[in-house]
A and B are shown apart, each in its own frame.
Chain A
């Protein structure tokens, strides 16, 4: 079985400060890892993914994430937060074989204050 944990329901950060949204995962095998963002009443927008290769992955809108195999983590980061980054963020995992399905974390609400 595979699972994703996002330990924080909400993250608050001031505009211009760095932000981190945490994600840890559990899979039996090598993982594919994803971050998605969701704005109110919208579907999921893809931010970035880790498949293989460089542990530091750069994605859309200045976001990046670092794959840490020993800590089974894939934290989302951004050097300087914007008010417009305020949204719900989901981490997701699947194993890298066949037609496995995505498993999502419960989501973390990011609130960036002006």
Chain B
């Protein structure tokens, strides 16, 4: 089956620093990847849709300058949390869409971000 990886699996950073999270599709090419945010015991909130070679589409209320998304290749999308603050602490999950068929999504294992 399709495998999606994320790196790092957890990160702790100081307030004001930037953190980059990578999402990779390991055995397929993904023209579209998605970034979700999840607060404890809550559902996944779609932050943005990342399309290879073009600008990401952000959901309403998500700050584009805060959460920078780059989908530079067919197997890699990155999410950079700029000038992180404690309220950015969360669990970030990416998914990648398998092209063709019914365009199924496969999810990465998630990244736990803690901002001190």
Q: Which residues of A contact B (CB under 8 A)?
A: 32, 36, 41-46, 49, 51, 88, 90, 96, 99, 101-102, 104-107, 109
Contacts and interface: CB of A to CB of B under 8 A. Distances in A.
B46 A101 contact: yes
B58 to A, nearest CB: 13
B112 interface: yes
B109 interface: yes
Interface residues of B, number: 24
A51 B102 contact: yes
Interface of B: 6, 10, 32, 34, 41-44, 46, 49, 91, 93, 95, 97, 102-110, 112
A44 B93 contact: yes
A46 B91 CA distance: 18
A41 B103 CA distance: 26
A13 to B, nearest CB: 19
Contact of A42 (B103, B104, B109): B109
A106 B109 contact: no
A73 B4 CA distance: 29
B110 A99 contact: no
Contact of A96 (B34, B42, B102, B109): B102
Which of A36, A43, A46, A51 counts the most B-chain CB atoms under 10 A from its CB?
A43
A104 B102 CA distance: 18
B6 A43 contact: yes
